[in-house]
Amino acid sequence: MADVNEVDERDKIDELMVQLARGRVALGVAAFAAPGLTVRAMGMGRGADGGRDFVTRMFAAREIALGAGYLLSGEEGRKLWARLGLGVDSLDVVTGLSGRKRVPLWAAAGALAVSGSAAALGAAKVARDVLR
Distance of alpha carbon 59 from its chain centroid, rounded? 10
Mean pLDDT of all residues in 8-13:
76
- Residue 3: its pLDDT value, please? 56
Q: If we measure between CA atoms, which residue out of 69, 81, 66, 73 comes closest to residue 125?
A: 81
| pLDDT band at 63; cut points 50, 70, 90 | very high
Q: What's the predicted TM-score (pTM) here?
A: 0.85
43 has pLDDT over 80:
no
Residues 13, 124 contacting (CB under 8 angstroms): yes
In the predicted model, is pLDDT for residue 18 greater than 90?
yes
Q: Is the model more confident about 70 or about 108? A: 70
Calculate ∠ Cα 81-84-89, nearest 5°: 120
pLDDT at position 52 is 87
Residue 50 has pLDDT above 90, yes or no: no
- Cα distances (angstroms) measured from residue 57 to each of 25, 33, 100: 13, 8, 22
The pLDDT, as a whole number, for residue 2 is 55
CB 31 within 8 A of CB 56: yes
Q: Lowest-confidence range among 32-41, 80-89, 117-126?
A: 32-41
Average pLDDT over residues 32-60: 86
In this structure, which amino acid lies at residue 74?
G
Q: What is the pLDDT of residues 73-120, one digit of tens each?
A: 999 999 999 999 999 999 999 998 998 888 888 888 888 999 999 999
Nearest to 27 by CA among 92, 123, 120: 92
